């Protein structure tokens, strides 16, 4: 969010509505209206003074109405833009033309009641729709006493309760009487999988978020008794099953049951539920959490009408399996929950993918209208250290607690300080001009600003330094607001002492600051895609669409991977072959890769037998799309399996039903889910098997309506719209029977006959039968990720899938810069998700290619080769493979930082046996002098005391 | 010096992405805590060399807090 | 990784209460947790009193011990073992505190005790290689009593080039501690043995 806020090429229009959207792909006109926030965003310093003076109360919508705020407020501290706004619905001035107390209170004069709605017309080439999701209507929640009893809350409200910035600062309390709830129940599938409210689909995310909330609640109170009532636990995502297991281990109870109702019961709530065996029970709880599903956004109809794209029957955006990010109107794309309920990683992946396709569409315009800032040349620094210290009052935020003049004078006495001053708001626009002037006037070559947090304001001041011809590294910030005046408001003396100490420590560090060069590394504008299945081909074609050459390396003798028979795959193969920018290598293997983002060199072999040829490819990025294959376990749930015409996997069954069995389907078939998955042989859920099995079951029923189809399952995971198929299958008479791990089905072959026996929890009895066929849902295993992981030095999970850099924020990037992953090599998933991921990976990988260079933050590590003893500790400890060994002129091994890959964590520096490694901006010298300056305070105090 | 008057000198190494950010957030929410901490910001706790900690004690710290 | 275990170990060896050092985690969103941690830690240190007080170590001795501790963690030998242990931990992929503390104790304790007792000579130069100049510079500006204790080891240190020669000599010394170090070492040693009992 902050990143988007800072980019000079992203304009953020908050408080804005779309009025109309006209035109066609490449040439849209969008009319928007921006509602006034009554605060001049650029002037607001987010000090929060106005909120404390505002006399009117208002329900805090951000905290789900569980809290009270004021009409003038900011939703949460990290909001972007970090600017307050006035809610016109409750502001006394805007409703009754009175008050205006906030106007004189605001020291930076940012409040402007004269603001009016502003209409604008934007000309754009492509549009991405991401309006998110809507709320489940409250009448659906009413049967659980929501609205009748305050301790029945939605999961969204419960999240606020758990959150440190929530209404009870992170404590979970009953809304009825503020007590800590001891017994908490979660009810799953509220407003999803519910024909009653026309939401037949599964919202996909609720099981996982309920588990997460339950775990956090358990952390808050380890004695809490938490029960989750569910129909099927749908933790089909990557590593999600493991999370559920952890929850169970922590004592969270999972009960497969339908909750009939929740009623107030004295101080408590009474929850009535029925289990599979038909018995009804009830239990008392202190709090009941409704795991509400994701509804389509409230203005979906309006958006669709305005832009001219179609919605599906649930009012979400209508998309195609093979073009999952495209709406029915060309040039308009969709990302996130509006494309159907999905979790954060999937939404982030979709948004990358959509941005990539959109930028491919408008690539002819690339580079136009982009803002590039230019700066004066950096001036030469003399030997003399000339430090300027600026101490900020921040209105009264700092000045009312810390004695700012005292701190400023104190700084003036320090070595190397040639100029010191106070300022009211050092971050204001005019203060930047003053800063520039003073740098010139006093020939300052180091700047120390004591104000707020470097995390928010360092970039701003560094910009000013660059404008003044100083290297941006010649800057140090002292945090005397967020970490001093605000948190020691009642101890002005101690806060002033602390400010002095911190300023002294910063000046001590500043004395040793050296300018650090801005480093950029050029990028080879080609890609390497490993794996020629649907994912790899989609990624390669997308890169080509963006105008980049790429090599596609396929292990087998032809493209297509797992889905060779699909017509879409055939279309892709055709497109790849025709595309001049894509070079295909079949029968090919990656042998070796060296280099780093922007400058990789790989050796691949291609061809069979005597015709094997070696190729050396230079490329800037790598996309891994090596996929997975069907798992064929030899034992399933303790039964030895002999695969035959009668005992098949689901994919074999599908093939049969498409091909020779087109008109023939068995009269009886037992499908066994999780055969070899979820702890049986593989530890994870393969995500797609349930849907595939249900599709096959429907196909069997279609061909042979009298066929007896029985599916033995643990949890049916037909998440999202696939839930419709599940409903359909049940209606068509497919029998779904759950089994428990302590009572597994037995599959045996007696002579020429198959026999399957299992426990039926509805009949409460063992059942034995002889089906014509058994179909096993066997899951999938990744293809040789271990070899590739070693070649590219990228990590894999315990299940041998590639481990992304950040599960939520960087779902298609690997920890090594310039290496991306998509498809089944990342985790099992259905085709539409593979395609989205491939589109996202190619979009992400195109970023360095479009830019043409990679910039390096100068805070990276650097090795003093004179001191380095070549012990290689740093190379093996670096989490980012950012240190390599090189030979010096005397042929001795020396470490060297690969600046483009370094993340500045400093592990190498702190583990170097000879202190040969230091970090830019955080050198040993700087940190040591900071520590010594800290020591001086200690001494001063001691002498004072004496 | 009695224990009431005694104000320990505490040195802190805070990670820019975690604890330093949490400390900023504490300020935004106006939480109050004892004013003894003197913070040195690092980009990651991985940067904290054991030698820094020992040097902190040499320089007279009564306690050292490292927050990732 | 293991950094805190190393620091704990050294503090223990030189007789400083390891509770004076705390390594904690709080994510960016956990402001209340940070406040709680820092309030508790301040309280804890307050309880312990000024450095040396709860340990029952006098000011001069304290300074000597700490300087030695610093020299130990700055010595190439200890750092080498530390780095290699970190590498082992990474390779094993076990990150429970029990395991890390155990392995650090096992692999590093010998090196630490060695460095503390005999390698003042060897440890110093490595430590002051980079830090020497600022230490000196700042020390000069101070000029109080404390400076005297601080500059002493710094002035003793051999210059950069001499170090290479000095090192092998120091290594030879290592196994048999000489008189001057033996005297300093004894209180620390007593402490640990007492604890073991």
pLDDT at A586: 96
Distance (Å, whole) CA A21 – CA A128: 12
Q: What are phi and psi of C151, to 5 degrees?
A: -75, -20
Q: What are phi and psi of A164, to 5 degrees?
A: -55, -30
What three-state secondary structure class fits A551? strand
In A, minimum Cα distance to C141 occurs at: A415
Q: A387-518 has which CATH code?
A: 3.40.50
Q: Pairing mode, if any, of strands A16-24 and A27-34?
A: antiparallel
Answer yes or no: do A873 and C130 touch at CB < 8 A.
Answer: no
Answer yes or no: do C51 and B53 touch at CB < 8 A.
Answer: no
Token pair listed for A311? 């919605």
Per-residue pLDDT tens digits for C83-125? 988 888 887 777 777 888 888 888 888 888 888 875 444 434 4
Q: How many CB pairs below 8 A link B and C?
A: 148
Answer yes or no: do C80 and A913 touch at CB < 8 A.
Answer: yes
pLDDT at A4: 67
Q: Regarding the domain delimited by A522-624+808-854, which CATH topology (the fold level of the hierarchy) does it fall under?
A: FAD/NAD(P)-binding domain (3.50.50)
Distance (Å, whole) CA A624 – CA A708: 43
What three-state secondary structure class fits C23? strand
Please answer whether residues A254 and A228 qualify as being in contact, where contact means their C-beta atoms are separated by less than 8 angstroms: yes
Architecture of the domain whose range is A630-781: 3-Layer(bba) Sandwich (3.50)
H or E element that contains A33: strand A27-34
Secondary-structure class of domain A138-292 per CATH: alpha beta
For chain C, residues with pLDDT lower than 70 are 1, 118-197
What three-state secondary structure class fits B56? helix
- The neighbours of chain C, by the rule of 3 or more Cβ pairs under 8 Å, are A, B
Chain B residue numbers touching A488 (CB-CB < 8 A): 32-33, 35
Please answer whether residues A807 and A815 qualify as being in contact, where contact means their C-beta atoms are separated by less than 8 angstroms: no
Please answer whether residues A97 and A196 qualify as being in contact, where contact means their C-beta atoms are separated by less than 8 angstroms: no
Q: Regarding the domain delimited by A860-919, which CATH topology (the fold level of the hierarchy) does it fall under?
A: Alpha-Beta Plaits (3.30.70)
Please answer whether residues A133 and A296 qualify as being in contact, where contact means their C-beta atoms are separated by less than 8 angstroms: yes
- Residue A158 CB contacts under 8 Å (≥ 6 apart), including other chains: A172, A213, A217, A289
Distance (Å, whole) CA A270 – CA A267: 10
Could you count the other beta carbons within 10 Å of the beta carbon of residue A243?
15
Distance (Å, whole) CA A875 – CA A911: 11
Angle value at C-alpha B43, between B40 and B47, nearest 5 degrees? 80
Token pair listed for A925? 């010298």
Label residue A743 exposed, middle or buried (CB < 10 Å: 0-12, 13-18, 19+): exposed
pLDDT at C172: 40
Is C129 at the interface with chain A, CB within 8 A?
Answer: yes
Please answer whether residues C75 and C120 qualify as being in contact, where contact means their C-beta atoms are separated by less than 8 angstroms: no
Integer CA distances (angstroms), A93 to A45, A73, A113, A812, C66, in order: 22, 15, 8, 49, 64
Domains in chain C: boundaries: 3-128+154-190
Portion 875-904 of A in contact with B at CB < 8 A = 903-904
**Positions of E strands within A641-707:** 647-649, 668-672
Residue among B33, B41, B55 whose CB faces A928 most closely: B55
Domains in chain A: boundaries: 2-124, 138-292, 387-518, 522-624+808-854, 630-781, 860-919
Taking the alpha carbons at both ends of chain A, their separation in whole angstroms is 52
Residue among C10, C34, C44 whose CB faces B19 most closely: C34
ipTM of the complex: 0.95
- Residue A630 CB contacts under 8 Å (≥ 6 apart), including other chains: A562, A649, A651, A778, A779, A780
Distance (Å, whole) CA B9 – CA B7: 6
pLDDT, averaged in runs of 10, over chain A (946 residues): 69 93 94 95 86 93 91 84 91 94 92 95 95 94 94 96 83 92 96 91 97 92 95 94 93 95 93 92 96 96 96 96 96 96 96 94 78 80 91 89 95 94 86 91 95 89 92 94 94 95 96 89 94 96 94 96 91 96 96 90 92 95 96 93 94 88 87 93 94 96 95 96 96 96 92 93 93 95 91 88 89 92 96 97 94 85 92 90 90 91 90 93 94 82 61
Strand partners for B68: none
Please answer whether residues A623 and A539 qualify as being in contact, where contact means their C-beta atoms are separated by less than 8 angstroms: yes
Answer yes or no: do B65 and C24 touch at CB < 8 A.
Answer: yes
- Return the HEC string of A123-161: EECCEEECCCCECCCHHHHHHHCECCECCEEEHHHHHHH
DSSP A180: P
pLDDT at C118: 59
Please answer whether residues A759 and A769 qualify as being in contact, where contact means their C-beta atoms are separated by less than 8 angstroms: no
**Positions of E strands within chain C:** 21-24
Distance (Å, whole) CA A39 – CA A103: 10
Chain A residue numbers touching B58 (CB-CB < 8 A): 935
Answer yes or no: do A164 and C31 touch at CB < 8 A.
Answer: yes
Report chain A's C-alpha Rg in angstroms: 32
Token pair listed for A393? 């009052």
Give B17→chain A minimum CA distance, Å: 9
Per-residue pLDDT tens digits for A830-855? 999 999 999 999 999 999 999 899 88
Answer yes or no: do A505 and B38 touch at CB < 8 A.
Answer: yes
In B, minimum Cα distance to A165 occurs at: B29
- Residue A495 CB contacts under 8 Å (≥ 6 apart), including other chains: A401, A402, A480, A484, A485, A488, A489, B35
Distance (Å, whole) CA C13 – CA B60: 18
Token pair listed for A543? 């890169």
- Residue A837 CB contacts under 8 Å (≥ 6 apart), including other chains: A349, A353, A535, A811, A812, A822, A823, A826, A829
Q: Pairing mode, if any, of strands A549-553 and A526-530?
A: parallel
Looking at chain C, the number of H-run helices and the number of E-run strands are: 9, 1
pLDDT at A324: 97
Chain C residue numbers touching B36 (CB-CB < 8 A): 42, 45
Distance (Å, whole) CA A503 – CA A450: 7
Distance (Å, whole) CA A860 – CA A873: 17
Considering Cα of A776, then A777, then A783, then A785, what sign does the dihedral take?
negative
């Amino acid at each position: 969010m902050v990143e988007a806020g800072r980019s000079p090429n992203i304009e953020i229009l908050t408080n804005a509505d779309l009025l109309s959207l006209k035109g066609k792909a490449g040439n849209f006109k969008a009319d928007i209206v921006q509602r006034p926030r009554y605060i001049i965003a650029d002037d607001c310093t987010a000090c929060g003074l106005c909120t404390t003076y505002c006399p009117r109360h208002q329900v805090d919508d951000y905290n789900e109405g569980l809290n009270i705020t004021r009409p003038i407020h900011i939703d949460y501290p990290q909001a972007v833009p970090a600017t307050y706004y006035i809610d016109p619905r409750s502001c006394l001035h805007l409703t009754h033309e009175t008050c205006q107390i906030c106007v004189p209170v605001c020291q930076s004069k940012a409040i402007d009641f004269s603001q009016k709605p502003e209409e604008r017309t934007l000309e754009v080439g492509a549009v991405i729709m991401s309006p998110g999701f809507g709320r489940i209507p409250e009448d659906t929640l009413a049967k659980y006493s929501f609205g009748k009893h305050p301790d029945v809350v939605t999961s969204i409200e419960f999240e606020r309760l758990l959150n440190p910035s929530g209404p009870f600062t992170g404590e979970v309390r009953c809304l009825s009487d503020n007590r800590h709830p001891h017994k908490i129940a979660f009810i799953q599938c509220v407003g999803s999988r519910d024909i009653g409210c026309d939401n037949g689909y599964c919202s996909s995310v609720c099981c996982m978020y309920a588990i997460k909330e339950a775990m956090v609640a358990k952390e808050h109170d380890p004695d809490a008794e938490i029960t989750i009532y569910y129909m099927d636990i749908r933790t089909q995502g990557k590593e999600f099953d493991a999370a559920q297991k952890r929850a169970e281990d922590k004592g969270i109870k999972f009960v497969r049951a339908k909750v009939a109702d929740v009623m107030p019961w004295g101080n408590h709530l009474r929850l009535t539920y029925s289990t599979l065996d038909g018995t009804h029970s009830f239990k008392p709880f202190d709090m009941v959490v409704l795991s509400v599903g994701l509804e389509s956004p409230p203005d979906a109809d309006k958006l669709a009408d305005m832009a001219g794209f179609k919605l599906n029957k649930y009012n979400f955006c209508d998309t195609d399996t093979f073009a999952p990010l495209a709406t029915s109107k060309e040039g308009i794309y969709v990302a996130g929950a509006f494309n159907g309920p999905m979790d954060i990683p999937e939404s982030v992946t979709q948004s990358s993918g959509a941005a990539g396709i959109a930028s491919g569409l408008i690539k002819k315009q690339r580079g136009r209208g982009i803002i590039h800032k230019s700066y004066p040349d950096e001036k030469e620094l003399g030997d003399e250290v000339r430090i300027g210290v600026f101490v900020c009052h921040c209105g009264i935020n700092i000045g009312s607690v810390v004695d700012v003049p005292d701190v400023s004078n104190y700084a003036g006495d320090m070595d190397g300080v040639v100029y010191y001053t106070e300022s009211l708001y050092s971050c204001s626009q005019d203060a930047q001009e003053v800063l520039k002037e003073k740098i010139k006037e006093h020939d300052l070559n180091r700047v120390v600003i004591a104000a707020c947090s470097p995390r928010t304001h360092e970039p701003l001041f560094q910009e000013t330094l660059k404008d003044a011809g100083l290297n941006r590294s010649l800057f140090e910030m002292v945090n005397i607001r967020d970490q001093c005046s605000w948190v020691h408001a009642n101890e002005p003396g101690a806060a002033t002492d602390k400010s002095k100490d911190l300023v002294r420590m910063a000046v001590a560090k500043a004395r040793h600051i050296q300018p650090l060069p801005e480093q950029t590394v050029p990028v080879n504008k080609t890609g390497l895609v490993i794996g020629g299945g649907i994912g790899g081909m989609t990624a390669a074609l997308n890169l080509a669409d963006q105008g980049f050459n790429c090599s596609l390396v396929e292990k087998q003798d032809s493209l297509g991977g797992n889905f060779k028979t699909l017509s879409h795959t055939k279309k892709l193969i055709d497109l790849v072959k025709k595309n001049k920018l894509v070079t295909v290598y079949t029968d090919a293997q990656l042998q070796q890769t060296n280099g780093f983002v922007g400058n990789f060199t790989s050796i691949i072999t291609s061809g069979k037998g005597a015709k094997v040829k070696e190729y050396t490819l230079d490329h800037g990025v790598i996309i891994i799309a090596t996929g997975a294959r069907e798992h064929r376990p030899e034992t399933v749930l303790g039964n030895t399996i002999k695969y035959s015409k009668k005992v098949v996997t689901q994919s074999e069954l599908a093939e049969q039903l498409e091909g020779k069995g087109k008109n023939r389907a068995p009269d009886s078939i037992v499908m066994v889910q999780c055969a070899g998955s979820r702890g049986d042989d593989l530890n994870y859920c393969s995500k797609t098997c349930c849907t595939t099995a249900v599709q096959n079951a429907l196909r069997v029923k279609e061909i042979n309506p009298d066929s007896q189809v029985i599916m033995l399952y643990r949890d049916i995971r037909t998440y999202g719209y696939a839930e419709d198929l599940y409903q359909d299958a049940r209606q068509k008479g497919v029998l779904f029977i759950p089994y428990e791990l302590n009572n597994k089905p037995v599959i045996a072959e007696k002579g020429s006959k198959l026999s399957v026996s299992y426990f039926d929890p509805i009949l409460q009895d063992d059942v034995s039968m002889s089906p014509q066929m058994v179909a096993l849902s066997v899951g999938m295993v990744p293809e040789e990720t271990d070899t590739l992981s070693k070649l590219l030095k990228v990590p894999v999970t315990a299940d041998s899938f590639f481990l992304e850099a950040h599960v939520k924020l960087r779902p298609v990037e690997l920890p090594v810069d310039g290496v991306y992953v998509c498809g089944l090599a990342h985790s099992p998933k259905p085709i539409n998700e593979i395609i989205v991921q491939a589109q996202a990976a190619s979009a992400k990988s195109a970023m360095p290619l479009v830019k043409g260079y990679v910039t390096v933050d100068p805070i990276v590590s650097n090795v003093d080769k004179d001191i380095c003893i070549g012990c290689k500790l740093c190379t093996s400890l670096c989490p980012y493979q950012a240190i390599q060994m090189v030979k010096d002129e005397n042929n001795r091994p020396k470490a060297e930082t690969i600046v483009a890959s370094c993340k500045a964590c400093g592990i190498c520096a702190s583990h170097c046996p000879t202190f040969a490694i230091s970090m830019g901006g955080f050198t040993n010298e700087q940190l040591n002098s900071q520590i010594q300056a800290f020591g001086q305070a200690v001494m001063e105090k001691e002498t004072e005391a004496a | 010096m009695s224990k009431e008057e005694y104000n320990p000198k505490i040195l802190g190494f805070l990670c820019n992405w975690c604890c330093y950010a949490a400390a900023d957030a504490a300020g935004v929410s106006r939480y109050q805590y004892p004013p003894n901490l003197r913070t040195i910001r690092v980009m990651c706790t991985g940067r904290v060399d054991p030698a820094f900690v020992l040097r902190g004690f040499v320089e007279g710290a009564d306690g050292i807090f490292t927050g990732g | 990784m293991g950094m805190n275990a190393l620091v704990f170990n050294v503090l223990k060896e030189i007789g400083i209460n390891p509770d004076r050092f705390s390594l904690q985690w709080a994510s960016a969103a956990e402001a209340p947790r940070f406040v709680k941690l820092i309030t508790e830690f301040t309280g804890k240190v307050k309880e312990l009193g000024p450095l040396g007080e709860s340990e029952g170590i006098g000011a001069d001795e304290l300074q000597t011990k700490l300087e030695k501790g610093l020299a130990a963690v700055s010595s190439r030998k200890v750092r080498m073992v530390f780095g290699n242990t970190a590498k082992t931990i990474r390779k094993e992929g076990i990150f429970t505190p029990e395991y890390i503390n155990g392995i650090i104790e096992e692999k590093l304790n010998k090196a630490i005790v060695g460095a503390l007792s005999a390698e003042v000579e060897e440890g110093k130069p490595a430590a002051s290689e980079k830090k020497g100049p600022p230490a000196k510079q700042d020390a000069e500006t101070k000029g109080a009593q404390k400076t005297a204790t601080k500059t002493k080891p710094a002035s003793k240190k051999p210059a950069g080039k001499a170090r290479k020669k000095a090192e092998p000599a120091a290594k030879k010394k290592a196994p048999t501690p000489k008189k001057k170090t033996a005297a300093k070492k004894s209180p620390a040693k007593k402490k640990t043995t007492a604890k073991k009992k």
